[in-house]
């Protein structure tokens, strides 16, 4: 894939902003700097990552999911789902919702919401 894909997923729950970027590490870092005014830092890049970006100057806090590639395969969907779990955990931590073995429904619903919204956008972009 030579062209990068970028879109926002905004789950109604917890008023969270999540950006999904699919493309090379180099393109991701360029986009990240341009979009948020901060570099992606030293996050480990193993073909996918998730982190929270905060720019207090512009009043922005968002989760960012980066995937090097996505082709609609079960493996690609699994990687996206994995990163959606990380984003969900960070959102729940921010709003003070505990996630435990006894209390995990919020995590399940939020991850489901984020993943479905991302997959719908990928389908619209012809990636599924």
Task: Report the distance separating Cα 62 and Cα 101, nearest Å.
Answer: 26
- Percent of the chain surpassing pLDDT 70: 90
**Total residue count of the chain as it appears in this document:** 128
Q: Residue 50 has what pLDDT?
A: 83
Neighbours of 108 (CB within 10 A): 12
Average pLDDT in the 101-119 region?
Answer: 93
Can you tell me whether residue 62 is helix, strand or coil?
strand
Q: Is the dihedral of CA 114, 116, 118, 120 positive or negative?
A: negative
Question: Against a cut of 0.85, is the pTM above it?
Answer: yes
Q: Residue 7 has what pLDDT?
A: 93
Task: Report the distance separating Cα 79 and Cα 31, nearest Å.
Answer: 21
From the number of C-beta atoms within 10 Å of its C-beta (0-12, 13-18, 19+), residue 112 rates as: middle
Whether the predicted pLDDT of 23 surpasses 60? yes
In degrees, to the nearest 5, what angle opens at C-alpha 84 toward C-alphas 80 and 88?
175
């Amino acid at each position: 894939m030579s062209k990068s894909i970028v879109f926002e997923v905004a789950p109604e729950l917890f008023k969270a902003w999540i950006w999904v970027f699919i493309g090379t590490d180099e393109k991701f870092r360029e986009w990240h700097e341009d979009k948020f005014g901060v570099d992606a830092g030293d996050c480990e890049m193993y073909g996918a990552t998730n982190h929270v970006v905060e720019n207090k100057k512009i009043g922005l806090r968002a989760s960012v999911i980066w995937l090097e590639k996505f082709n609609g395969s079960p493996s690609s969907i699994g990687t996206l789902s994995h990163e959606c779990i990380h984003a969900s955990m960070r959102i729940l931590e921010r709003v003070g919702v505990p996630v435990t073995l006894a209390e995990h429904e919020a995590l399940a619903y939020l991850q489901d919401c984020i993943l479905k919204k991302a997959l719908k956008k990928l389908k619209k972009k012809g990636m599924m």
